[in-house]
Amino acid sequence: MIGDTWLLADILFLIAAGLLVHRVLARAQEDEPGERDRPIWFLAAFCVWLPGVQGLGRLVEFWPWPFVLSLVAGWAAVVGWGTWRLWVERGHADTTPRRVSPLMLGVALWRLVGAMLVLLLWGTGAEDPRSSFAFLLLVELPTRLVFAYAFLTFRVAI
């Protein structure tokens, strides 16, 4: 989906994962929850924004470029507004860590069932390009939205 930029994307993902692990290890030494990390919020918003843009890109692939850019900007505004509202209204994680989250288990189950349904209905992405788009739209985007919401508002006991 990202074309020739896959190596750059992998390198950036590796750097982001390394920074996240470093931050987690540093915060594990603290007794009290610290301030919210703005970079983590931007990273979560980007993880929600990306599959939406990919889906829009496939949907309006042959439309005029200015219209495509306006759709991308509109999606970015929606994700930005939603992230800001979450920051203002529910930006602090629960004080008590949870061992099990029914929301997360339900989303993981939907991801499994949705992937199987897409595979049964359209086959693999190599067989039918609609399969990749359906997975992106029906499974990937909704689960990323919920995972980002849960990641930013829950505390999980590990």
Per-residue pLDDT of 65-76, as tens digits, reads: 888 888 888 989
Residue 9 lies in a domain: no
Residue 145 lies in a domain: yes
**pLDDT for position 60:** 78
Structure confidence by residue, pLDDT tens digits, 40-49: 778 778 877 8
User: Stretch 49-65: mean pLDDT, rounded?
Assistant: 78
Q: What distance lies between CA 157 and its chain's CA centroid?
A: 21
Q: How confident is the model at residue 1 (pLDDT cuts 50, 70, 90)?
A: very low
Please choose, from the candidates 115, 114, 113, 104, the residue with its C-alpha nearest in 3D space to the C-alpha of residue 145. 104
Measured between alpha carbons, how far is 129 from 88 in angstroms, rounded to an integer? Answer: 40
**pLDDT for position 158:** 55
Q: Model pTM?
A: 0.54
Domain that holds residue 104: 33-153
Q: Could you give the number of structural domains in the chain?
A: 1
b/e map 59-76, b = 16+ CB within 10 Å: eeeeeeeeebeebbeebe
**pLDDT for position 3:** 53
Residue 14 lies in a domain: no
**pLDDT for position 116:** 92
**pLDDT for position 109:** 93
Please choose, from the candidates 131, 129, 111, 133, the residue with its C-alpha nearest in 3D space to the C-alpha of residue 55. 133
Residue 18 lies in a domain: no
Structure confidence by residue, pLDDT tens digits, 72-89: 889 899 988 988 887 777
